[in-house]
Amino acid sequence: MPKHLSLMALAAAAALSGCSLIPNYERPAAPVPAAYTQAAAEGASSAIAWRDYFTDPRLQQLIDLALTNNRDLRIATLNLEQARAQFQIQRSALFPSVGGIASANRGNNQITGDLGSTFTAGLAISAWEIDFFGRINSLKEAALAQYLATDEGRKAYELTLVTSVAQGWLTLIADEELLDISRRTVETRKESIKLAKLRFDAGFASELDYRQAESLTESALATFAQQQRQRALDENALALLLGQQVPTDILASITGTKLASVAPMADIPAGLPSDLLVRRPDIRAAEQQLISANANIGAARAAFFPSISLTAQYGSVSNELSNLFKSGTWGFNVGPTLNLPIFTAGRLSANLASAKAAREIAVAQYEKSIQTGFKEVSDALAGRTTLAEQARAQAAQAEAERKRFYLSDLRYRNGVASYLDLLDAQRSLFALEQADVQVRLAQQLNQINLYKALGGGWSEASLGKQEVTNR
C-alpha cells in the first residue's frame, strides 16, 4: 500500500472513532419539597469562606493547622491524585502507543542454507484499538467523573474538618466554663459545711444538716472530676483533628473564657433546597458517581460491536549493519485486526445488566444524598429559633435561681429558714448554671451545623483546585 494511502486510512479510522453509546444524562428530580417548612425562602444562599465565617484569630489558627496536618485530609488529597492518574491512564488509551524497535538476527537462510544476519530498526504502533463505537471514550468519561467525584469528596471532608475544629474549639471553651462553675460551687459548698459544722457544734442545727452539706460538697467534687476528665478527652479529640497537640498559648488563652464572649458567627440565609445541588460537595460527588455509572453503560453497549486494532511498523531492514539506514532499506507495514464477538456465554449481556443496575444504585444514592442534605438543613433551621428562645429562658431562670440561693443562704444564716431550703437552692442553681452553658453551646454548634449543611464555602486559594484539561 502506498505510504500516503496508509496514512489516509489511519486518519479516516481515527475520524470514524467518536460514536458514543452513552445514554443521554438527565439529572434526576430532587425528591424533596420546594421549600423548607421551618423558614420561608430567604434568597439564594451564597458561599461564605470559612475565614469570613469563623472570625476568631485563635480558631483560624487551629483550622489552618488542621488543613495542613490532618492525616485524613492528606489521604483524601492523595486519593484525588490517584484518581487523576487513573483518568490519565484511561485517556491515554485513545491514542496510539509508539515505541522504538531494534533487532539483530543471525542464522541459516531457509532457502539457500547460507549463514547470514538481519538487522532491523524503526518505530512501531502496537495493537491500537480504534474507538469506532466509543467504548474507550466511555471508559474515559467514567474515569473523569470518578476523578471529579473524588475531588468533591475531598472538599466535603475539608468542610467537615473545618466545622469539626470549630465545634471542638467551642466545646473546650464550654468545658472551661463548666469547670469554673464547678470550682465556684465547690468553694460555696465548703463554706456551707463550715457553717453547718459551727451550727451543729453550737447546738443550733442537727447532725443531719451537717451530713447533707458534706454529701452535697462531695457530689460537686465528683462532678468537677468528671468535667476535668471530659475536658482532657475533648482536648485529645481536637488534637487528633489538628494532627498535632493544641498550641499551649491557645490553651492558655481560653482560661476564664465564656461562650458569650466568643466572636459571633455570621448569619447565613438558608435559600431553597435546590441550592444544595450546587452547594453541597457530597451531593455533587454523588452526581458525579451517577454520571460515571451512566458512562459505563456506554462502554458495556459498545462491547457488543466489533473492535478494530491496528499494528504498524516503519523502519529499516538490512543484511549489513553498516547499510541499515541507507536509501532503499526503509519500509513500513500496517496490519488491522478485527475482533467480532460471536459467543460469550451471556457475559456481554450480564455486563450491560450490571452497568444498568449500577446506574440505578447511583440514582438512589444521589437522591438519598439530597434527602440527607434537606434533613440536615431543616434540623438546623428548626434549632435556630427554638434554641435561641431556650437559651434566653434558661439564662433568665438561672438568674432567678441565683437570687433565690442568695436569699435562702441569708435566711439560713439568720435562722429563719431550714437547711433543706438552702440545699434545694444550691442543687437547683448548680444544675441550671450547667444547663445554661450546655444550651448556649448547643446554640452555637447548631449554627455551625447549618453552615455545614448549606455547603459552607471556600475561596479559590483554599480549594487548591486542579483543573482537568483536554477532556
Confidence at residue 3, expressed as pLDDT on a 0 to 100 scale:
46
Q: Is the pLDDT of residue 112 over 70?
A: no
Q: Is the pLDDT of residue 470 over 50?
A: no
Concatenated DSSP letters of 101-151: EEEEEEEE-TTT--EEEEEEEEEEEEEEEE-TTSHHHHHHHHHHHHHHHHH
Q: Is the pLDDT of residue 347 over 50?
A: yes
Query: Which amino acid, residue 435?
Result: A
Q: Is the pLDDT of residue 125 over 60?
A: yes
Cα distances (angstroms) measured from residue 328 to each of 104, 316, 324, 331 = 19, 8, 9, 8
How crowded is residue 387: how many other Cβ atoms within 10 Å of its Cβ? Answer: 20
Query: Which amino acid, residue 193?
Result: I
Q: Quote the pTM value.
A: 0.80
| 374, 377, 381, 383: CA torsion to nearest 10 | 110
More confident residue, 320 or 24: 24
pLDDT in tens, 190-234: 887 887 778 777 777 777 877 888 888 888 899 999 999 999 999
Question: Above pLDDT 70, what percent of the chain?
Answer: 81
User: What is the edge-to-edge ordering of all strands in the sheet holding 307-318?
Assistant: 98-108, 115-130, 307-318, 330-339
Cα gap 249→75, rounded to integer Å: 29
Grid cell 493544641 — which residue? 246
Grid cell 463548666 — which residue? 178
Angular region, 127: left φ>0, alpha ψ -120 to 50, beta rest: left
E strands of 173-328, at which residues? 307-318
Looking at residues 389-402, what average pLDDT do you find? 91
Cell numbers of 241, please? 483533628
Cα gap 291→297, rounded to integer Å: 10
More confident residue, 141 or 39: 141
Confidence at residue 250, expressed as pLDDT on a 0 to 100 scale:
92
Looking at residues 29-57, what average pLDDT do you find? 76
Confidence at residue 117, expressed as pLDDT on a 0 to 100 scale:
66
Confidence tier at 445 by pLDDT (50, 70, 90): very high
Q: Is the pLDDT of residue 465 over 50?
A: no
CB 108 within 8 A of CB 290: no
Confidence at residue 469, expressed as pLDDT on a 0 to 100 scale:
39
Q: Report the run of H or E that residue 100 belongs to, with start and end.
A: strand 98-108
Domains of the chain listed by start with CATH number = 22-94+131-305+347-463 (1.20.1600.10), 95-130+307-340 (2.20.200.10)
pLDDT in tens, 292-307: 999 999 989 888 888 7
**Helices (H), strands (E): how many in the chain?**
12, 4
Cα gap 314→330, rounded to integer Å: 7
Cell numbers of 316, please? 529499516
Confidence tier at 8 by pLDDT (50, 70, 90): very low
Cell numbers of 262, please? 466568643
How crowded is residue 117: how many other Cβ atoms within 10 Å of its Cβ? Answer: 12
Confidence at residue 190, expressed as pLDDT on a 0 to 100 scale:
85
More confident residue, 109 or 217: 217
More confident residue, 357 or 275: 357
Looking at residues 308-323, what average pLDDT do you find? 68
Highest mean pLDDT among 124-138, 203-217, 238-252, 293-307: 238-252
Looking at residues 88-98, what average pLDDT do you find? 76
Confidence at residue 338, expressed as pLDDT on a 0 to 100 scale:
72
Confidence at residue 449, expressed as pLDDT on a 0 to 100 scale:
92
Confidence tier at 368 by pLDDT (50, 70, 90): very high
- Lowest-confidence region among 47-61, 70-84, 134-148, 206-220: 206-220
Q: Which of 228, 169, 217 is nearest to 426 (CA)?
A: 217
More confident residue, 121 or 395: 395
Q: Which of 176, 183, 184 is nearest to 246 (CA)?
A: 176
Cα gap 115→319, rounded to integer Å: 11
More confident residue, 291 or 119: 291
Cα gap 286→373, rounded to integer Å: 12
Cα gap 47→409, rounded to integer Å: 53
CB 238 within 8 A of CB 164: no
**CB-hemisphere CA count at 13 Å for 218?**
6
Grid cell 483560624 — which residue? 60
Question: Above pLDDT 90, what percent of the chain?
Answer: 37
pLDDT in tens, 15-38: 445 578 889 999 998 888 888 876
pLDDT in tens, 151-185: 999 999 999 999 999 999 999 999 999 999 999 88
Cα gap 58→353, rounded to integer Å: 55
Confidence at residue 151, expressed as pLDDT on a 0 to 100 scale:
92
Cα gap 149→144, rounded to integer Å: 9
| 202, 205, 207, 209: CA torsion to nearest 10 | -130
If 0-12 CB within 10 Å is exposed, 13-18 middle and 19+ buried, where does residue 53 land? buried
Confidence at residue 344, expressed as pLDDT on a 0 to 100 scale:
81
Average pLDDT value for the chain: 82
How crowded is residue 369: how many other Cβ atoms within 10 Å of its Cβ? Answer: 20
Cα gap 64→176, rounded to integer Å: 23
Cross-strand partners of 128: 310
Confidence at residue 173, expressed as pLDDT on a 0 to 100 scale:
95
- Taking each helix axis from N to C end, the angle separating 207-242 and 135-201, rounded to the nearest 10 degrees, works out to 160
